[in-house]
């Protein structure tokens, strides 16, 4: 790496029990003031970070395989992003783009047009969060097509607002008790090679999806099909080859917007700018968020100019969307990915992880499958000798990793997929060390 000025040594160092005494103190305060609904995976309170290491309030150096769900792809507190944001913060922090515009917004839209797939004019809108981007994509698709129905894939995660909860697959913990949800939202079958009938191809899975659409919704009623090219919260599910090609052709033939939700898998994470590129499909619209601004809140919908411009002025927008500081941070992120070949780094991380964890399904009976692309990995945990999901094993692995200073994520509709979304600047040594810690837990569960 040309300029990777880490301010913290890239090593795991445990100096107290985890969580440590200061974390415990903060946690006691938190229970008195913060909603229980904002549950945390790990009750370790962080103080600072650099690269792939987080340092907690007790001084423990922890390997971060989560990146706050795939946000700090370029590493924690990257100096280039910090400098861009702080320079912008003392220059101009807000005007509202739709009152008086500024150049940063245009520059981010230009970068999105440059790096999203498709050889045509693309326009963008910038908003604050992933869910807000998905909501806007729904509005735009309905406005452009004049249709109402929206389809999302089984095991999808599209957000936690009322509309995006309806598009999110599993009831727990995201939806339970918080309906009613808006109508005209449908879950349709996906391709999930580990759980589909043995040998089912991507084309066959897409035919199943299309049949479901035809018999439950009607192709002429459907405004948009939303897909995560690699499902994140669903458990790093990568559909079989041919799935997206077949669905995209069906959408094009029937005037349905094909929308790729790239909020988790986009912006270099999968070893490409956008994960749909692995299939060669060109979506009508793409949503970006998480990794786009190194931790600052920013999200976008980018799409065909005719689609994006079908909305009347004022029909989409929002007070903070495309904030000057967030866009300055995003421009620094785009520059880092371009100048430091972070897409190549994501591919290196893929190779290093698979070299280390690729044989886990053979080595550990509790592991059903290891899968991934770029810097995103899913380890599906099962009851030994079966494909039955094993959520208890996942809890045990996360607990073991946590108390030994490795942050890992959970995922999957059955809460049985161990998920890694490390920074693309993580070293091969840290990958090896983290894998060793996790193997201790897998070995105990596999006897």
Ligand X SMILES: *Cc1c(COP(=O)(O)O)cnc(C)c1O
Between residues 213 and 376, which has the closer beta carbon with respect to ligand X? 376
Reference 300, options 153, 82, 143, 131; nearest CA is 131
Which residues are paired to 57 by β-bridges? none
Between residues 230 and 367, which has the closer beta carbon with respect to ligand X? 230
Answer yes or no whether residue 131 interacts with ligand X by CB under 6 A: yes
Answer yes or no whether residue 232 interacts with ligand X by CB under 6 A: yes
- Binders in 49-108 for ligand X, by CB under 6 A: none
What is the closest distance, in whole angstroms, from the C-beta atom of residue 224 to ligand X in the complex?
Answer: 14
Q: Of 7-15, 170-178, 226-234, 358-366, which segment contacts ligand X by CB under 6 A?
A: 226-234
Q: Of 25-33, 39-47, 129-137, 405-413, which segment contacts ligand X by CB under 6 A?
A: 129-137
- Asked if residues 324 and 314 have their Cβ atoms less than 8 Å apart, the reply is no
Answer yes or no whether residue 122 interacts with ligand X by CB under 6 A: no
Name the residue with the smallest CB distance to ligand X: 130
Answer yes or no whether residue 264 interacts with ligand X by CB under 6 A: yes
Between residues 181 and 444, which has the closer beta carbon with respect to ligand X? 181
| CA pair distance 399, 334, nearest whole angstrom | 35
- DSSP run (H or E) holding 138: helix 130-145
| CA pair distance 330, 38, nearest whole angstrom | 26
Answer yes or no whether residue 226 interacts with ligand X by CB under 6 A: no
What is the closest distance, in whole angstroms, from the C-beta atom of residue 80 to ligand X in the complex?
Answer: 23
Between residues 217 and 259, which has the closer beta carbon with respect to ligand X? 259
Between residues 127 and 441, which has the closer beta carbon with respect to ligand X? 127
Phi, psi dihedral angles at 407 (to 5 degrees): -90, 120
Beta-carbon contacts of residue 90 (< 8 Å; ≥ 6 apart) = none
Residue selected from 49, 159, 271, 294 as contacting ligand X according to rule CB under 6 A: 159
What is the closest distance, in whole angstroms, from the C-beta atom of residue 404 to ligand X in the complex?
Answer: 27
Answer yes or no whether residue 158 interacts with ligand X by CB under 6 A: yes
Q: Of 82-90, 256-264, 305-313, 321-329, which segment contacts ligand X by CB under 6 A?
A: 256-264
* Residue 412 DSSP code: S
Q: Give the length of the chain.
A: 447
| CA pair distance 183, 403, nearest whole angstrom | 44
Answer yes or no whether residue 370 interacts with ligand X by CB under 6 A: no
Between residues 298 and 367, which has the closer beta carbon with respect to ligand X? 298
| CA pair distance 137, 226, nearest whole angstrom | 9
What is the closest distance, in whole angstroms, from the C-beta atom of residue 97 to ligand X in the complex?
Answer: 19
Beta-carbon contacts of residue 193 (< 8 Å; ≥ 6 apart) = 200, 238, 239, 240
Beta-carbon contacts of residue 425 (< 8 Å; ≥ 6 apart) = 1, 4, 51, 52, 74, 75, 342, 345
**Which spans of this chain sit near ligand X (rule: CB under 6 A)?**
129-131, 134, 157-159, 228, 232-233, 261, 263-264, 289-290
């Amino acid at each position: 790496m040309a300029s990777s000025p880490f301010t913290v040594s890239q090593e795991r160092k445990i100096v107290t029990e985890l969580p440590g005494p200061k974390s415990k103190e903060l946690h006691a305060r938190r229970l008195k003031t913060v909603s229980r609904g904002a549950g945390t995976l790990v009750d370790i309170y962080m103080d600072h970070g650099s690269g792939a290491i987080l340092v907690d309030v007790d001084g423990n150096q922890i390997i971060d395989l989560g990146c706050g769900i795939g946000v700090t792809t370029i590493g924690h507190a990257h100096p280039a992003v910090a400098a861009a944001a702080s320079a912008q913060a003392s220059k101009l922090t807000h005007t509202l783009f739709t009152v008086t515009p500024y150049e940063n917004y245009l520059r981010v839209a230009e970068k999105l047009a440059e790096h999203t797939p498709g050889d045509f004019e693309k326009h963008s809108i910038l908003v604050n969060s992933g869910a807000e981007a998905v909501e806007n994509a729904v509005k735009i698709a309905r406005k452009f097509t004049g249709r109402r129905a929206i389809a999302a894939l089984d095991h999808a995660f599209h957000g936690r607002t009322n509309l995006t909860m309806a598009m999110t697959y599993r009831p727990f913990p995201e939806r339970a008790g918080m309906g009613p949800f808006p109508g005209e939202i449908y879950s349709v079958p996906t391709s999930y090679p580990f759980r589909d009938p043995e040998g089912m191809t991507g084309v066959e899975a897409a035919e199943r999806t299309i049949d479901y659409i035809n018999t439950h919704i009607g192709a002429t009623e459907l405004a948009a099909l939303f897909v995560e090219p690699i499902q994140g919260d669903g458990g790093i599910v990568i559909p079989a080859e041919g799935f997206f090609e077949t669905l995209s052709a069906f959408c094009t033939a029937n005037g349905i917007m094909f929308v790729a939700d790239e909020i988790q898998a986009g912006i270099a994470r999968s070893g490409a700018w956008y994960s749909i590129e692995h299939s060669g499909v060109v979506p009508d619209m793409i949503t970006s968020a998480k990794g786009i601004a190194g931790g600052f809140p920013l999200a976008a919908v980018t799409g065909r100019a005719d689609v994006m411009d079908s909305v009347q002025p004022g029909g989409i927008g929002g007070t903070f969307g495309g904030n000057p500081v967030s866009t300055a941070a995003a421009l620094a992120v785009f520059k880092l990915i371009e100048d430091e070949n972070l897409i190549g780094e994501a591919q290196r991380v893929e190779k290093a992880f698979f070299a280390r964890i690729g044989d886990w399904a053979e080595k550990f009976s509790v592991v059903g499958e290891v899968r991934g692309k770029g810097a995103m990995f899913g380890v599906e945990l099962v009851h030994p000798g079966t494909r039955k999901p094993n959520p208890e094993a996942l809890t045990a692995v996360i607990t073991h990793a946590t108390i030994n200073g490795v942050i890992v994520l959970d995922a999957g509709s059955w809460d049985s997929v161990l998920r890694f979304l490390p920074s693309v600047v993580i070293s091969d040594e840290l990958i090896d060390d983290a894998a060793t810690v996790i193997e201790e837990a897998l070995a105990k569960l596999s006897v």
